[in-house]
Structure 1
Amino acid sequence: MGKKILIISPVPVFPWHAGNRMRIKSICDALITRGCELDFFYIGFDEKLSENHYTFFNGQVLDHLIDDTTTNFVKEPVLRIQEIVNGLKTRAGYFQRRLKYGEDSARFNKSLSEFKSIKKQRLLKEQIQKNIYDGVLLNYTVYSHLFDLFDDNVIKIIDTHDRLSDRYTLFLEEGVEPVIWKSISSADEKKSLSKADVILAITQKEAEYFRELIKVSKPDILTVTHLSPYDEVPLSAGRSGKTIITVGGKSEINLNGLNWFLDKVWRHITKKFNDAELLVAGSLCEQSSAFVYNENVTLLGRFDSTHEVYDKAGLCVNPIQFGTGLKIKTIEALSSGKKIITTKEGASGLERFIGKGLVMSDSPEEWVREISSHFECEENTADFKETLKAEVHKYNEEAFRNIYKAVQLETETLS
Structure 2
Amino acid sequence: MRILYFYPENPLSFSQGNNSRALSLLHYFKNRNIDIDLVGEESKEFGQDSINELKSEDLIKHGYLLKKEKKSSNIVKYYLNYSFPKKFNSKFKDFDRTKFGYKEQFSKILKDNEYDIIIISYVYWSPLLDNVTKGTKTKWIVDTHDFLTSQFQDHKKFALDRYFKREINLMQKFDDVWVISNEEKYLFSQFVKSPVSLVTHGLPNNIETSSKTEKTIDLVYVASENFHNIKSANWFFKEAYPFLSSDIKITVVGKIGNHIPKFENVENLVFVKDLDEVYKKSKIAICPMLSGTGVKIKVIESLSHGIPVVCTERGVDGLLNKTNNGCLTTNDPSLFSDYINKLLNDAEFYKQNHLEVKKFFEDNFDIKKTYNVLDGIFKAN
Q: Which amino acid aligns with 2:93?
A: K
Cα pair distance change 1:87/1:220, threshold 3 Å:
same
Q: Which amino acid aligns with 1:322?
A: S
Q: Match for residue 149 of structure 2? A: 165
Moved more, 369-378 or 246-255: 369-378
Cα pair distance change 1:359/1:351, threshold 3 Å:
farther
**Over residues 318-370 of structure 1, what are the superposed CA-to-partner deviations in whole Å (9 max), with x where a residue is unaligned?**
11111011111111111111111111110112253733422122222322321
Q: Is the Cα–Cα contact under 8 Å of residues 343 and 360 in structure 1 kept in the other structure? A: yes
Cα pair distance change 1:20/1:282, threshold 3 Å:
same
Q: Match for residue 261 of structure 1? A: 236
Q: Match for residue 84 of structure 1? A: 80
Q: Which amino acid aligns with 1:275?
A: D
Q: Is the Cα–Cα contact under 8 Å of residues 40 and 66 in structure 2 kept in the other structure? A: no
Matches within 5 A, 1:254-403: 254-269=229-244, 273-288=245-260, 292-352=261-321, 354-379=323-348, 385=354, 388-396=357-365, 397-403=368-374
Cα pair distance change 1:353/1:236, threshold 3 Å:
farther
Listed as ranges, the gaps of 5+ residues in structure 1 are 98-108, 179-183, 411-415
Q: Is the Cα–Cα contact under 8 Å of residues 2 and 34 in structure 2 kept in the other structure? A: yes
Rg bigger for which structure?
A: 1
From 19, 25, 28, give the equivalent of 1:27. Answer: 25
Q: Is the Cα–Cα contact under 8 Å of residues 223 and 255 in structure 2 kept in the other structure? A: yes
Q: Match for residue 120 of structure 2? A: 138
Q: Match for residue 224 of structure 1? A: 199
**Over residues 38-58 of structure 1, what are the superposed CA-to-partner deviations in whole Å (9 max), with x where a residue is unaligned?**
111224455534121222346
Distance 1:157 1:52 in 2: 26
Distance 1:89 1:65 in 2: 20
Moved more, 385-394 or 323-332: 385-394
* Partner SS state of residue 187, structure 1: helix
Q: Is the Cα–Cα contact under 8 Å of residues 64 and 123 in structure 1 kept in the other structure? A: no
Percent sequence identity over aligned pairs:
20
**Over residues 119-147 of structure 1, what are the superposed CA-to-partner deviations in whole Å (9 max), with x where a residue is unaligned?**
33323333333433221111111222334
Q: Match for residue 61 of structure 2? A: 60
Cα pair distance change 1:72/1:327, threshold 3 Å:
closer
Q: Match for residue 48 of structure 1? A: 48
Q: Match for residue 71 of structure 2? A: 70
**TM-score when scaled to structure 2?**
0.85
Q: Match for residue 13 of structure 2? A: 15
Q: Which amino acid aligns with 1:123?
A: Q
Q: Match for residue 189 of structure 1? A: 167
Q: Is the Cα–Cα contact under 8 Å of residues 320 and 346 in structure 1 kept in the other structure? A: yes
Distance 1:238 1:326 in 2: 27
Root-mean-square deviation (Å): 2.9
**TM-score when scaled to structure 1?**
0.79
Moved more, 335-344 or 116-125: 116-125
Q: Is the Cα–Cα contact under 8 Å of residues 40 and 57 in structure 1 kept in the other structure? A: no
From 93, 111, 115, give the equivalent of 1:110. Answer: 93
Cα pair distance change 1:238/1:371, threshold 3 Å:
closer
Distance 1:58 1:280 in 2: 29
Distance 1:319 1:67 in 2: 36
Cα pair distance change 1:380/1:81, threshold 3 Å:
closer
Q: Which amino acid aligns with 2:84?
A: L
Q: Which amino acid aligns with 1:48?
A: Q
Matched length? 368
Q: Which amino acid aligns with 1:244?
A: L
Listed as ranges, the gaps of 5+ residues in structure 2 are none
Distance 1:362 1:58 in 2: 40
Distance 2:38 2:165 in 1: 29
Moved more, 59-68 or 226-235: 59-68
Cα pair distance change 1:90/1:389, threshold 3 Å:
same
Cα pair distance change 1:336/1:408, threshold 3 Å:
same
Q: Which amino acid aligns with 2:24?
A: S
Cα pair distance change 1:67/1:87, threshold 3 Å:
closer
* Partner SS state of residue 129, structure 1: helix
The alpha carbon displacement at 1:391 in A equals 3.1
Matches within 5 A, 1:237-256: 237=214, 239=216, 243-256=218-231
Moved more, 56-65 or 248-257: 56-65
